[in-house]
Amino acid sequence: MIISSGSSNILIFLINTLSYLFVMALLLRFLTQLLRGDYYNPITQFIVKITQPVLNLVNRFIPRHSIIDLAAIFLAIVIIFLKILSLKMLNIEQYSIVGAMISLQSTSIPALLYLSMLEIIDFIFDIFFFAIVIQAIMSWLNPATYNPMVTFLEGLTYPILNLVRRFIPDLGGIDLSPILAILLLQIIQMIIFPALIQLIRII
């Protein structure tokens, strides 16, 4: 969330919306590769096609490491940094991340870079959160129907849910792992982010 000295305008809206959408595509691509999701899934293919042209340029400076394209994470951080820097130059007063208000005008450039990395981490938590919620709802509504979206989300959430299931006793076919996973993600965010955000004041 952004609080400006005046009313919101089209430029701020475009900066936030376009950066959000492209960073989401980059992170989904990175996570799909990292977790070895289905490369041939139509949704995965769409994400690859819209991100590949830009990543081809970045890969000239950051070569791919094994199957993981680190250029996607690097570019995501750069985009968020440029977004926050643009808002600072537009005299936006405050910026909100994980419920904490950050004064952009009194924040140094290194601190903005650190803030950008925190936002990427928070974004990844949000992706897992919504992926688990959407997958659970779609699976309950149409459990026997093939859906590329469900398959794509399963590729993202399976490692987390599989880990959680190891600590849940058999409840006769009732899978509570999505609920527990969501709670754990929220608790982790609540524990680590306040401490990480405090570091901005000393950068």
The pTM assigned to this predicted structure is 0.88
66 close to 59: Cβ distance less than 8 angstroms: no
Distance CA 117, CA 123 (A): 10
Distance CA 118, CA 110 (A): 13
Distance CA 115, CA 92 (A): 15
Give the tens place of pLDDT for each residue, 104-163. 888 889 999 999 999 999 999 999 999 999 998 888 887 667 789 989 999 999 999 999
Write out the two tokens for 82.
């440029």
In total, how many domains does the chain have?
1
**For residue 39, what are the domain limits?**
2-202
pLDDT at 138: 86
Which ranges of 35-108 would DSSP assign to H, the alpha helix?
42-58, 70-89
Give the tens place of pLDDT for each residue, 6-53. 456 788 888 899 999 999 999 999 999 999 888 899 999 999 999 999
77 vs 91 pLDDT, higher one: 77
